[in-house]
A and B are shown apart, each in its own frame.
Chain A
Amino acid sequence: MLASASPSPLAPGDAGEGATREDFLRAFDRARVLRTRAAGRPARLLWLLAGPGVLVMMGENDGPSMVSYATTGATYGVGFFAPFILLTFVMAFVVQEMTVRVGIATHRGHAELIMQRFGPFWGYFSMADLVFGNLLTLVTEFIAIQAGGLYFGLPAWASVGLGALLVFASLALRRYATWERALMALAAGNLLFVPAALYAHPDGAALAHALATWGPLPRNTGAAFLTLILANVGATVTPWMIFFQQSAVVDKGLTRADLPQGRLDTAIGAGIAAIAAIATLVAAAPLFGAHVDVSQFVSGADFATALQPLIGSTGATLFALGIIEAGLLAAMTIATSSSYALSEVFSANHSLNLDFKSGRMFFGVAVGSTLLAAGTVLIPGAPLLAMTLTVNVIATLLMAPALLFLLLLANDRFLMRDLTNTWRGNLAGGTIVVAISLIGALYGIITVFPDLLGK
C-alpha cells in the first residue's frame, strides 16, 4: 500500500487493522530508531531523536525575544546581561526537561493530560490562557517578519503574506519528521546573529570576564533595568513551549529508552539558543558605545538600520535576516502548539502525520490563527509596538499557572511511575514558579506605574 493511498484507518482484515496513517508514519520512524540503537550508532541515534528540544528553544528565540536582547545590548552593553541570559536558558532547560519526561511517560500531550487529570474546569482555563497568549505572540511574530521585510524594502503585505504562505507550506508537508527537519534547517538561521556579532568586533576578553564575574554591573538599575530583566526572562520561558515540546515528543514517538537523547536534545537546543541570544546582545552593543537612544525604536528593523554605520551593511543585513527567521520559525512552532493543544482538548486527531481530511481541526487551528495574526498586523494604524510590549508581559504572567500544572503532572506517580520528579526537580521547578510569579507581578506593577522605581 502506498502513502498516497492514505489509509486511515486500514480496511478490516488488513495486517495493520485499525492503524491509521499517523500510526504508520510514526512506526516507520520508530523502526529506524530501533534499528539504529541496535546497530550501536549513538551519533546517528541522537540525530534521529533530536528535534523537539532544538525547535522549542530556537522557536523561543522569536521576534520579540531578539528585540529584547538587542534592546538590552544597546542599553547596557555586554556585562551583567550576558551571564543573566545564560541563566535564563538554564531555567528554560529545567522546565522543558520536565515536559520531555511527562511526554515520554504518558505518550499524551500537555493539554490532554490537564483536561483528563484535572477536569474540564481547569482544562478550559488552561486552554484559554494558552490560546490567548499564543494568538497575541503569533501577531508579534508577523510584526517581526514585517519589520525585517521593511529593512529590505518589502511592503508589509508582501512580507506578511509570504510569511503566512511559508507557515501553510510547512503544514502541507503532512509528515512530522519532514516538518521537523525543515524547521530545524530554518532554525539554523537563528545563528545569523553570530556573524552579525562578529562584525561588531566584540572584545572576547570582556565577554569572558562578563560571563565569569557578572560584571560590570549597570550603573542605572531603575525601572528600565528591571524591565529588561523581566523582558529577558519572558523571552526565554513561555507557556507555549511547555505545550509544544510535550506534544512534539509524543508525536515523534519518544519512549523511555530515548530519555537521555531527549534531554540532550533539549540541552543542545538551550545551548545554541543561548549562543544566538548572547550574539544578539553583542551585535547590538555598539549602539551602547555610540550612546544611541533605542527607546523610540519600534522593531528589529530599526536596530538593523541603526547598526548599519557601526557594524557595516553586511552585519546589519544579517541582523535583519535573523529577525525575519526568528519571527518565521516561531510563527510555525506557535501555530502548531495551538493546534496540538486545542485538538487534544476537544479529543480531535492531533498529529503532523495526519492527512488534511482526518486532521481538519488540527490544521484548521494553525491556518486560522495564522490568518488572524497576519491580518491583524496589516490593519492600518494597528498599535504594533504596544502589542509587542504587552505580549511579553502577558507571557510572563501566564507562565506561573502553566508551570504549576507541569509540576503537578511531573509529580503524578500514577502517570510518571519511575520518571516522577525528584525533590531536586521540585526544588528547581518550585523556585522557578515562585520567581516567575514575583517577576510577573513586578512586571505588571512597573508596566502600570513606570515611574515607581525611577527612570
Chain B
Amino acid sequence: MRYDPAHLAALEPDQFSAAHRAHLPRRKLSRGVVVLLVLLRVYVLLAIPVVAYAFIHAL
C-alpha cells in the first residue's frame, strides 16, 4: 500500500488525527442531570463494597 496524499481527500476534516487536539467546550449540566449522576455514583460506591464482601465470603 502506498501513502497516497490523494486518498486524504476521502477523510472529513474532523477525521484527521490532528483534529482531536482541539478540545470540545464543556457542557453545562442541569441540576437534574447532576443529581442523577451523583445518585448513580453513590449507587456504585455503595454496591462495590457489597460485592467485595460477597467475593471474600465466597473464598
Give the interface of B toward A (CB within 8 A).
Answer: 1-5, 7-12, 14-21, 23-27, 29, 33, 36-37, 40-41, 43-44, 47-48, 50-51, 53-55, 57-59
Q: Does A2 contact B (CB under 8 A)?
A: yes
> Interface size of A by Cβ–Cβ distance < 8 Å?
63
Q: Which A394-420 residues have C-beta < 8 A from chain B?
A: 394, 397-398, 400-401, 404, 408, 412, 414-415
B47 touches A1 (CB 8 A): no
- Are A23 and B44 in contact, with the CB atoms below 8 A? no
Task: Point out the residues of chain A lying under 8 angstroms from B20, CB to CB.
Answer: 108, 112, 347
Closest chain B CB from A447 CB (angstroms): 4
Q: Are B54 and A415 in contact (CB under 8 A)?
A: no
Q: A393's closest neighbor in chain B, by CB? A: B51
B3 CB, nearest partner CB in chain A, Å: 4
Q: Please, how many angstroms separate the alpha-carbon atoms of A3 and B4 in the complex?
A: 10
| Inter-chain contacts of B47 with A (CB < 8 A) | 397, 440-441, 444
A355 part of interface (Cβ distance < 8 Å): no
Identify which of B8, B36, B43 contacts A16 (C-beta below 8 A). Answer: B8
Which of A107, A118, A386, A393 sits near B14, CB closer than 8 Å?
A107
Interface residues of A in 7-24 (CB under 8 A from B): 7, 10, 14-16, 18-24
Secondary structure type dominating chain A contacts:
helix
- Residues on B with C-beta less than 8 A from A387 are 55
The residue in chain A whose Cβ has the minimal distance to the Cβ of B36 is A404
B50 touches A113 (CB 8 A): no
SS of B interface (majority): helix
Given contacts A1-B2, A22-B17, A30-B7, 14 further A-B contacts (CB under 8 A): A15-B5, A23-B16, A23-B17, A23-B18, A30-B15, A107-B12, A117-B26, A122-B37, A390-B51, A394-B48, A401-B44, A437-B43, A440-B43, A447-B51
CA distance A108 to B4 in the complex (A): 24
A351 at the interface (CB under 8 A from B): yes
Q: How far is it, in angstroms, between the C-alpha of A14 and the C-alpha of B48 when the chains are bound? A: 54
Q: Known: A107-B19, A394-B48, A397-B48. Is A28-B27 also a contact (CB below 8 A)?
A: no
Q: Are B3 and A26 in contact (CB under 8 A)?
A: no
The answer to whether B4 touches A28 (Cβ under 8 A) is yes
Q: Is B24 a contact of A113 with CB atoms below 8 Å?
A: yes
Q: Which residues of B are found within 8 Å of A33, using beta-carbon distances?
A: 10
Judge if A305 is at the interface, Cβ distance under 8 Å.
no
Minimum distance in angstroms from B8 CB to a CB of chain A: 5
* Complex CA distance for A19 and B21, rounded to whole angstroms: 13
State whether A27 touches B43 (Cβ < 8 A).
no
CB interface residues, A 117-146, toward B, < 8 Å = 117-119, 122, 125, 129
Contacts known (A107-B12, A125-B41); A390 close to B7, Cβ less than 8 A: no
* Residues in chain A near residue B12, CB distance under 8 A: 107, 255
Given the known inter-chain contacts A2-B2, A118-B27, please indicate yes or no for A34 contacting B10, CB distance below 8 A: yes
Give the most central of B24, B48, B58: most A CB within 10 Å: B24
Alpha-carbon separation in the docked complex, A19 to B9 (Å): 11
B15→A253 contact, CB < 8 A: yes
Question: Which residues of chain B are near A441, meaning CB under 8 Å?
Answer: 43, 47
Cβ 8 A contact of A401, one of B15, B40, B50 = B40
Would you list the 8 A-B pairs with minimal beta carbon distance, nearest first? A15-B5, A16-B5, A30-B10, A27-B7, A31-B10, A386-B58, A401-B40, A116-B24
Contact B17 A414 (CB under 8 A): no
Known contacts A27-B10, A117-B27, A393-B54; A1/B37 CB under 8 A: no
- Compute how far the CA of A27 lies from the CA of B3 in the bound complex, rounded to whole angstroms: 9
Binary flags per residue of A367-402, CB closer than 8 Å to B gives 1, else 0: 000000000000000010111011001100110110
In the bound assembly, the distance between CA atoms of A369 and B26 in angstroms comes to: 31
The reply to whether B58 and A444 contact each other, CB–CB distance below 8 Å, is no
Q: Say which residue of B11, B27, B37 sits within 8 Å of A412 (CB atoms).
A: B27
Cβ of A1 and Cβ of B15 under 8 Å apart? no
The CA-CA distance from A297 to B10 in the complex, in Å, is 53
A-B contact pairs, 18 of them (CB 8 A): A18-B16, A23-B11, A23-B16, A25-B1, A27-B11, A28-B1, A28-B7, A33-B10, A113-B24, A116-B23, A125-B41, A253-B11, A253-B15, A385-B58, A386-B58, A397-B48, A408-B33, A448-B57
Asked if A24 contacts B58 (CB within 8 A), the reply is no
Cβ contacts under 8 Å, A116 to chain B: 23-26
**Cβ of B36: which chain A residues have Cβ within 8 Å of it?**
404
Contacts of B2 in A (CB 8 A): 1-3
A27 touches B51 (CB 8 A): no
